[in-house]
């Protein structure tokens, strides 16, 4: 039996719309807890640290440092964006580069994932200074 | 402590990639009918059917519980479907335990089934699995299971000193265990070098560090002793079940290499069972990737505080103090998602009863632990079983 199924989803993002709107422009909009100040990127609707429901937005610079990276058919990394209290998983742009830093980039195509453009090898190995 | 929920009987089909034209409906019927035979029961004796299936995208069948009740001759039964990602089968078992322990049902059939290998191309299954995490963030980046597990494994390695050689040793051992299991997908005779020279999938993981996509089904029947025929009254029983969820996003965990949700689930299970990790004599743990087995054992508190040394010292070997994954685990036996956790519980029960069809523990354990998770140790299910 053969059956081909093509699905075209349109998913409302609700209260996280400001985060996704910013991400589409390559900007890092984090959530900040009004109670404990915990900054989450990607943004959250509820504080992951204290459970507070009162969240506000905080613009980050979009720069990040790699903690771990994995390479195969594609390259991904666990990174820490400057100003965030969480770590983030990102797809890597310019994975051939060996630098440990990069900048958030606008998503490739229409999928709202996190993409990090690695800095040029001559610019990124500055030990974060 | 759970006092009187027995695994009255059970059965599983081979786990592999079906190329014989059979369907998941055929596998489900085979597992159900053999489970009934093993328990000495008829379909009409079953009060409730609980079906575990991770995704309608795999089966191409919504409302699978009703369909499979009909397929398996259980019209009139109460039916439901339970889902918990990779832990779907084990979570369904927990639902069955609750059903029996509460008195809502006398005899419950838990059926796990998944056509993870034969219905879709591997790349399509991979794309669906990518939605097992936070679909709006991780999923939309296109990150796959292997890459997320690889990042977690690297954090684990950095903290513990585990090496790729430690991971490869697990890939080799579990495939060796699977060679005694007639239902295993990958009963391989491989070496450390084979693992370490297999193609890189997502560093540090190579192809032989990864569990396969499998087809198959498994079924167990639960009931209280008073409600079972004499043949099924001397079977293994549940001592405790537990479940705990961790943050969905790996990056929000304090230590992304630590399976903290699994640790919480295990501690709850030990407390409920009035046992400690040293009481466990056998374990079937969720080894979706070779390194994930070490991460799981650490979180479960098995072996010792120095998990890497315990592994290197052979504590978890077939002839060790605490044999792990004698079935071959997911790496060797295979992983048809909905069936995986059901088969793990069945394996542990048969080991405790001395009826296991594969590699048997060298000693006669009194207590066995079963561990399964969905996501990247995000939804964690733990059971502790006791010998008859």
pLDDT score for B130: 84
Report whether pLDDT(A126) > 60: no
Helix (H, G, I), strand (E, B) or coil at B220: strand
Cβ atoms B348, B385 nearer than 8 A: yes
Q: B178 in the Ramachandran plot: left (φ > 0), alpha (ψ -120 to 50) or beta?
A: alpha
Q: Exposed e or buried b for every residue in B124-162, given b needs 16+ CB within 10 A?
A: ebeeebbebbbebbbbbbbbbbbbbbbbbbbbbbeebeb
Per-position DSSP letters for B127-141, written without gaps between them: HHHGGGS-TTTHHHH
Residue A129, min C-alpha distance to chain B (Å): 24
Q: What are phi and psi of B11, to 5 degrees?
A: -165, 160
pLDDT score for B341: 98
Report whether pLDDT(A124) > 60: no
- From the CB of residue B362, how many other CB atoms can be counted at a distance below 10 Å? 13
Mutation for B interface: A68, A92, A104, A109, most B CBs within 10 A: A68
Which residue among A11, A16, A91 places its CB closest to the CB of B141? A91
Structure confidence at residue A125 as a pLDDT band (50, 70, 90): low
Per the domain annotation, does B7 fall within a domain? Answer: yes
* Global confidence as pTM: 0.97
Report whether pLDDT(A19) > 60: yes
Residue B160, min C-alpha distance to chain A (Å): 15
Which residue among B134, B143, B204 places its CB closest to the CB of A76? B143
| Residue in chain B lying closest to A110 (CA) | B140
Which residue among B201, B247, B251 places its CB closest to the CB of A89? B251
- What B72-75 contacts at long range (C-beta under 8 Å, 24+ apart), as own/partner pairs, is B72/B28, B72/B29, B72/B32, B72/B33, B72/B43, B72/B111, B73/B43, B74/B43, B74/B46, B74/B49, B74/B109
Per the domain annotation, does B35 fall within a domain? Answer: yes
Residue A105: strand pairing partners: A115
Average confidence (pLDDT) per 10 residues, chain B, 388 residues? 94 96 97 98 98 94 97 97 97 98 97 93 87 88 92 97 98 98 98 98 98 97 97 96 97 97 98 98 98 98 89 96 97 98 98 97 95 98 98
Are B140 and A107 an interchain contact pair (Cβ–Cβ within 8 Å)? yes
Query: Is the CB of residue A13 less than 8 Å away from at least one CB of chain B?
Result: yes
Residue keyed to tokens 């793990």: B344
pLDDT tens for A68-91 read 999 998 999 999 999 999 999 999
Give dist(CA B129, CA B348) in Å, integer. 27
Residues of B near A (Cβ–Cβ under 8 Å) read 60, 134, 136-144, 146-148, 150-151, 154-155, 158, 200-205, 247, 249-252, 256
Residue B256, min C-alpha distance to chain A (Å): 9
Residue B260, min C-alpha distance to chain A (Å): 15
DSSP character for B86? B
Per the domain annotation, does B217 fall within a domain? Answer: yes
Are A76 and B137 an interchain contact pair (Cβ–Cβ within 8 Å)? no
DSSP character for B255? S
Q: Which of residues 88-127 of A touch B (CB under 8 A)?
A: 88-91, 107, 111-115
Are A5 and B60 an interchain contact pair (Cβ–Cβ within 8 Å)? yes
CATH number for position B6 = 3.40.47.10
Per the domain annotation, does B11 fall within a domain? Answer: yes
Dihedral sign, Cα of residue B2, residue B101, residue B281, residue B341: negative
**CA separation, residue A45 to residues A34, A49, B63, B130, B186 (Å):** 12, 12, 32, 22, 43
Per-position DSSP letters for B15-35, written without gaps between them: PB---SS--HHHHHHHHHHHH
Per the domain annotation, does B320 fall within a domain? Answer: no
Per-position DSSP letters for A85-121, written without gaps between them: SS-EEEEEESTT---SEEEEEPPSTT----EEEEPPH
Are B251 and A86 an interchain contact pair (Cβ–Cβ within 8 Å)? yes
Structure confidence at residue A122 as a pLDDT band (50, 70, 90): confident
B164 vs A contacts (CB less than 8 Å) = none
Per the domain annotation, does B381 fall within a domain? Answer: no
Cβ atoms B186, B208 nearer than 8 A: no
Cβ atoms B17, B222 nearer than 8 A: no
Domain extent, residue B71, equals 2-120+213-232
Q: Which residues contact B48 (CB under 8 A, 6 or more apart)?
A: B77, B78, B79, B80, B96, B99, B104, B105, B107, B108, B109
Report whether pLDDT(A129) > 50: no
> ipTM score here?
0.94
Query: Is the CB of residue A12 less than 8 Å away from at least one CB of chain B?
Result: no
Are A78 and B150 an interchain contact pair (Cβ–Cβ within 8 Å)? no
pLDDT score for B381: 98
Give dist(CA B255, CA B251) in Å, integer. 9
Q: How many domains does chain B have?
A: 1
Are A5 and B252 an interchain contact pair (Cβ–Cβ within 8 Å)? no
Cis peptide before B135 (omega within 30 of 0): no
Per-position DSSP letters for B267-322, written without gaps between them: HHHHHHHT--GGG--EEE---SBHHHHHHHHHHHT-S-S-HHHHHHTTTTSTTSSS
Give dist(CA A118, CA B117) in Å, integer. 36
Taking alpha carbons only, the member of B268, B228, B255, B288 closest to residue B369 is B268
Per the domain annotation, does B305 fall within a domain? Answer: no
Count CA within 13 A, CB hemisphere, residue B374: 29
A87 vs B contacts (CB less than 8 Å) = 250-252, 256
What the block records as the tokens of A97 is: 């580069």
Are A76 and B202 an interchain contact pair (Cβ–Cβ within 8 Å)? yes
pLDDT score for A127: 47
B204 vs A contacts (CB less than 8 Å) = 70
Mutation for A interface: B58, B119, B132, B141, most A CBs within 10 A: B141
| DSSP H or E segment with residue B162 | none
Per the domain annotation, does B26 fall within a domain? Answer: yes
């Amino acid at each position: 039996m053969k059956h081909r199924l093509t699905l075209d989803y349109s998913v409302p993002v609700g209260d996280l719309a400001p985060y996704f709107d910013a991400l589409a422009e390559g900007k890092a909009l984090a959530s900040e807890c009004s109670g404990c100040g915990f900054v989450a990127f990607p943004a959250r609707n509820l504080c992951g640290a204290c459970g507070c429901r009162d969240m506000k937005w905080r613009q980050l610079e979009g720069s990040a440092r790699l903690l771990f990276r994995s390479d195969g058919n594609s390259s991904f990394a666990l990174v820490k964006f400057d100003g965030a209290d969480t770590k983030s998983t990102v797809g890597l742009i310019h994975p051939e580069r060996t630098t440990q830093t990069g900048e958030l980039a606008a998503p490739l195509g229409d999928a709202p994932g996190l993409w990090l453009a690695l800095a040029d090898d001559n610019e990124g190995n500055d030990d974060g200074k | 402590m759970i006092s009187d929920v027995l695994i009255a009987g059970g059965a599983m089909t081979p786990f592999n990639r079906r190329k014989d034209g059979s369907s998941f409906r055929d596998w489900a019927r085979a597992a159900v009918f053999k489970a009934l035979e093993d328990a000495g029961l008829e379909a009409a004796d079953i009060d409730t059917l609980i079906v575990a299936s991770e995704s309608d995208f795999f089966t191409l069948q919504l409302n699978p519980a009703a369909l499979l009740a009909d397929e398996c001759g259980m019209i009139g039964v109460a039916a439901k479907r339970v889902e918990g990602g990779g832990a779907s089968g084990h979570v369904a078992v927990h639902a069955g335990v609750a059903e029996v322990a509460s008195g809502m049902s006398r005899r419950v059939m838990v059926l796990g089934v998944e056509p993870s290998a034969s219905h879709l191309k591997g790349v399509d299954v991979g794309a669906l699995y990518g939605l097992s995490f936070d679909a709006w963030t991780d999923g939309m980046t296109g990150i796959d299971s292997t890459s997320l597990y690889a990042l977690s494994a690297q954090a684990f390695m950095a903290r513990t000193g585990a090496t790729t050689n430690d991971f490869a040793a697990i890939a080799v051992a579990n495939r060796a265990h699977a060679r005694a299991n007639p239902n295993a997908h990958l009963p391989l005779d491989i070496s450390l070098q084979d693992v370490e020279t297999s193609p890189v999938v997502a560093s540090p993981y190579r192809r032989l560090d990864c569990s396969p996509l499998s087809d198959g089904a498994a079924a167990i029947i639960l009931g209280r002793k008073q409600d079972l025929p004499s043949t099924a009254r001397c079977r293994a029983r549940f001592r405790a079940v537990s479940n705990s969820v961790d943050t969905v996003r790996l990056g929000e965990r304090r230590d992304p290499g630590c399976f903290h949700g699994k640790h919480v689930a295990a501690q709850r299970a030990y407390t409920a069972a009035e046992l400690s990790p040293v009481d466990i004599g056998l374990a079937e743990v969720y080894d979706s990737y070779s390194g994930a087995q070490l991460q799981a054992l650490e979180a479960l508190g098995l072996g010792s505080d120095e998990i890497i040394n315990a592994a290197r010292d052979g504590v978890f070997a077939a002839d060790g103090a605490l044999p792990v994954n004698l079935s071959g685990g997911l790496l060797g036996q295979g992983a048809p998602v909905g069936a995986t956790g059901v088969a793990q519980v069945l394996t542990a029960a048969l080991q405790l009863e001395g009826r296991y069809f594969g590699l048997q523990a060298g000693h006669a354990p009194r207590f066995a632990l079963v561990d399964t998770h969905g996501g990247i140790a995000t939804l964690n299910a733990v059971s502790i079983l006791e010998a008859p």
